[in-house]
DNA sequence: ATAGGGTTAG
């Protein structure tokens, strides 16, 4: 920051073009908060933003979830007598999408159309991606088909977006059909297409298809890249197939592709049960001049917490901060979980308040950790309060959160309350899973409540939830 | 010239 501050005071002063360029390079590294604070300094030194500057700032605010500020930057463009351009509008739509407001993004699109603003292919790709990422894959396909009939034709990026969406949804076969369709339309698949498809088939264990895709790639003169190898390392690692992981790494070397941070993160993640090996990889990574990123730190912190090596966690957090990474929600969830599991409930609550105070929006995982921690720490009342707040705020479709609360009630012997919660869960349209029934049945039978236990066991069987 | 879209990891 010192270097950038002196940059602002250069003689002659930098142009707004140079400042925008610097902001852009900071954003490229995803250091959005840094870019914003640099701009604040520039602004107070008297620099006036151009539309490009404001577009960059809109992007920054969107990425850190401050949509109200992003919107006020939109207003600033008008205030300076300029018109938002296609990049402004697309950036803003992207912001709505990544902040769980895809519906608003679509409304914004309709509004722009009504005002006769011209959007382009990138704008549509942004919307299609938003739909895919929010699980509305059918709506995304519909929009793709609309594009086919219109003036803005889908490109390889458009197809890749939907293909990836299908693959993430476990619909690899359908994705493959779409790839054939795209070839039929005269658009050849590229490395991204193949990577998505390989991810899709490897995540459902259809290795034959994966091998076929790899062969097909080579035939089409498309070489596997680091992404391809990382996807394979991850998929094999998740299945515990260490031999295959090593084979992929060997193949990677043979293709002259160097492992990157993601490769190391993936390998470390697969070895978190063996923290020492993960730490060795961490050292190796630094020997190769690969800079650890936030994911690296989060995985290591998680592994160290779970293996009880707390003193090292502190060092690592300091190192992480020194390297310019601020903890994100994943970091906080890891630490909250560690505090709860170590029965340091007061520390957990203090951290939670700190997170809220920073304006970071906790997610369902945060609440699951806390409610479980509160129950196990003898604070059932507080847990119930937090749980009911969640239901009121619309988090009522996730079985895991009910399971945690049911478990908490059972642990206190409050079986009737637990059974009532099962009913409430069904009323809310959330399907109990095998964990729900196992929790209740185990607790009831353990306390000699055999009749109630038996009744639930029958219900579980009737719902087809009993494991064979 | 500087800014917006698709692929991997928690």
Residue A318 lies in a domain: no
Neighbours of A464 (CB within 10 A): 7
Q: Which of the two residues, A30 and A149, has the higher pLDDT score?
A: A149
Spacing of A18 CA from B2 C1' in Å: 7
- Over 70: is that where the pLDDT of A313 sits? yes
Q: Which nucleotides of B are covered by protein (CB under 7 A)?
A: 1-10
The pLDDT, as a whole number, for residue A223 is 94
The pLDDT, as a whole number, for residue A4 is 61
The CATH number of residue A100's host domain is: 1.25.40.10
Mean pLDDT of A317-342: 91
- Over 80: is that where the pLDDT of A308 sits? yes
What does the angle CA A146 – CA A150 – CA A153 come to, to the nearest 5 degrees? 90
Mean pLDDT of A247-262: 94
**Count of structural domains, chain A:** 1
The pLDDT, as a whole number, for residue A5 is 62
Long-range Cβ contacts of A39-45 (<8 Å, 24+ apart): A41/A4, A41/A5, A41/A8, A42/A8, A45/A8, A45/A9
- Over 60: is that where the pLDDT of A3 sits? no
Average pLDDT, chain A: 92
Residue A15 lies in a domain: yes
- Over 90: is that where the pLDDT of A269 sits? no
Judged on CB neighbours under 10 Å (0-12, 13-18, 19+), A458 is exposed
Rounded to the nearest 10°, the torsion over CA A170, A197, A204, A209 is 130
What does the angle CA A203 – CA A206 – CA A208 come to, to the nearest 5 degrees? 135
* A196: nearest nucleotide, CA–C1' criterion: B7
- Over 90: is that where the pLDDT of A2 sits? no
- Over 80: is that where the pLDDT of A301 sits? yes
Which residues constitute the domain of residue A58?
A: 1-119
* A237: nearest nucleotide, CA–C1' criterion: B9
Spacing of A88 CA from B4 C1' in Å: 7
Residues A376, A382, A385, A391, CA torsion sign: negative
Chain segment A136-186, per-residue pLDDT in tens: 999 999 999 999 999 999 999 999 999 999 999 999 999 999 999 999 999
Residue A150 lies in a domain: no
Q: Which residue is nearest to nucleotide B9 (CA to C1')?
A: A266
Q: Which of the two residues, A392 and A93, has the higher pLDDT score?
A: A93
Chain segment A447-462, per-residue pLDDT in tens: 999 999 999 999 999 9
Closest CA to A248 of A283, A202, A281, A279: A202
Spacing of A379 CA from B5 C1' in Å: 47
Residue A386 lies in a domain: no
Residue A285 lies in a domain: no
Residue A385 lies in a domain: no
The pLDDT, as a whole number, for residue A445 is 94
Chain segment A282-298, per-residue pLDDT in tens: 999 989 988 898 999 99
Residue A112 lies in a domain: yes
pLDDT-derived band at A275 (thresholds 50, 70, 90) equals confident
Mean pLDDT of A12-20: 91
Closest CA to A242 of A274, A215, A217: A274
* A124: nearest nucleotide, CA–C1' criterion: B5
pLDDT-derived band at A124 (thresholds 50, 70, 90) equals very high
Residue A95 lies in a domain: yes
Mean pLDDT of A217-232: 95
* A191: nearest nucleotide, CA–C1' criterion: B7
The pLDDT, as a whole number, for residue A359 is 74
């Amino acid at each position: 920051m010192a270097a950038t501050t002196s940059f602002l005071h250069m003689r002659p002063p930098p142009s707004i073009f140079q400042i925008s360029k610097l902001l852009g390079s900071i954003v490229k590294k995803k250091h959005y908060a840094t870019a914003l604070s640099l701009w604040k300094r520039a602004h107070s030194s008297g620099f006036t933003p151009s539309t490009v500057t404001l577009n960059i700032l809109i992007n920054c605010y969107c990425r850190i979830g401050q949509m109200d500020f992003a919107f006020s930057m939109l207003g600033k463009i008008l205030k300076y007598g300029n018109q938002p351009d296609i990049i402004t509008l697309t950036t803003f739509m992207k912001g709505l999408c990544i902040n769980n407001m895809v519906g608003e993004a679509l409304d914004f699109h309709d509004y722009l159309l009504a005002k006769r603003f011209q959007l382009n292919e990138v704008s549509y790709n942004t919307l299609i991606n938003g739909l895919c990422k929010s699980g509305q894959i059918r709506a995304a396909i519909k929009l793709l088909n609309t594009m086919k009939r219109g003036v803005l034709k889908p490109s390889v990026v458009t197809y890749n977006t939907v293909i990836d969406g299908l693959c993430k949804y476990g619909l690899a076969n359908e994705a493959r059909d779409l790839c054939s369709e795209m070839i039929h339309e005269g658009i050849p698949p590229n490395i991204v297409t193949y990577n998505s498809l390989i991810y899709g088939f490897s995540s459902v264990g259809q290795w034959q298809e994966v091998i076929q895709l790899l062969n097909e790639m080579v035939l089409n003169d498309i070489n596997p890249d680091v992404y391809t190898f990382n996807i394979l390392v991850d998929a094999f690692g998740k299945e515990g197939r260490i031999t295959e992981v090593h084979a992929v790494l060997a193949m990677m070397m043979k293709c002259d592709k160097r492992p990157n941070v993601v490769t190391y993160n993936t390998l470390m993640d697969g070895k978190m049960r063996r923290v020492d090996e993960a730490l060795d990889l961490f050292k190796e990574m630094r020997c190769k001049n690969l800079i650890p990123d936030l994911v690296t730190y989060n995985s290591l912190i998680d592994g160290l917490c779970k293996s009880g090596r707390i003193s090292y966690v502190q060092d690592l957090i300091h190192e992480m901060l020194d390297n310019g990474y601020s903890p994100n929600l994943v970091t906080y969830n890891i630490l909250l979980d560690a505090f709860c599991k170590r029965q340091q409930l007061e520390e957990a609550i203090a951290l939670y308040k700190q997170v809220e105070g920073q304006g970071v929006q906790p997610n369902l995982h945060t609440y699951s950790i806390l409610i479980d921690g509160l129950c196990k720490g003898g604070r059932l009342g507080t847990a119930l309060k937090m749980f009911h707040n969640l239901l009121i705020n619309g988090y009522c479709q996730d079985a895991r959160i009910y399971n945690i609360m049911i478990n908490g009630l059972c642990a206190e012997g409050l079986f009737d309350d637990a059974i009532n919660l099962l009913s409430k869960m069904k009323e809310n349209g959330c399907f109990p899973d095998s964990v729900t029934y196992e929790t209740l049945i185990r607790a009831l039978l353990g306390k000699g409540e055999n009749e109630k236990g038996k009744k639930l066991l029958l219900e579980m069987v009737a719902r087809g939830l009993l494991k064979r």
